[in-house]
């Protein structure tokens, strides 16, 4: 287990273009699977989330939120794109929901 990112799954930073592309694809595939348990596993047990005006804490709350979200949003699809994986201060993806 990685001590810097104890619950993270490879590939891990620092990213190359190839590993960032893989990380983005894996995350996009997980979200578009519409499986709340699978998606929530990417977050810590005590994660804090905000979705517009909804505030969540904990993996179980994330799972419940996503289950309800995907029952209502039948055409939900997340598209992730590489946006700047080489600069250490920038996030490796840009999100767009279709």
Question: 39: pLDDT confidence band, cut at 50, 70 and 90?
Answer: very high
Q: Is 85 left (phi over 0), alpha (psi -120 to 50) or beta?
A: alpha
Of residues 69 and 93, the one with the higher pLDDT is 69
| Structure token pair of residue 82 | 């590489």
What is the per-residue pLDDT for 97?
61
Mean pLDDT over 38-63 rounds to 94
In this prediction, residues 53-67 reach a mean pLDDT of 96
Provide the residue ranges of all domains of the chain, joining segments of one domain with +. 12-34+76-98, 36-75
Residue 12 burial (CB count, 10 A): 12
pTM score: 0.73
| Residue 33 pLDDT | 95
Confidence bin at 1 (pLDDT 50/70/90): very low
Residue 94 confidence (pLDDT) above 50: yes
Cβ neighbourhood burial of 96 (10 Å; 0-12, 13-18, 19+): exposed
């Amino acid at each position: 287990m990685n001590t810097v990112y104890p619950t993270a799954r490879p590939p891990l930073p620092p990213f190359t273009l190839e590993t960032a592309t893989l990380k983005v694809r894996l995350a996009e595939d997980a979200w578009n699977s519409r499986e709340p348990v699978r998606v929530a596993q990417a977050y810590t047990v005590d994660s804090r989330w905000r979705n517009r005006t909804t505030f969540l804490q904990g993996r179980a709350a994330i799972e419940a939120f996503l289950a309800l979200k995907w029952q209502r949003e039948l055409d939900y699809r997340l598209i992730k794109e590489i946006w700047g994986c080489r600069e250490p201060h920038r996030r490796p993806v840009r999100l767009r929901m279709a």
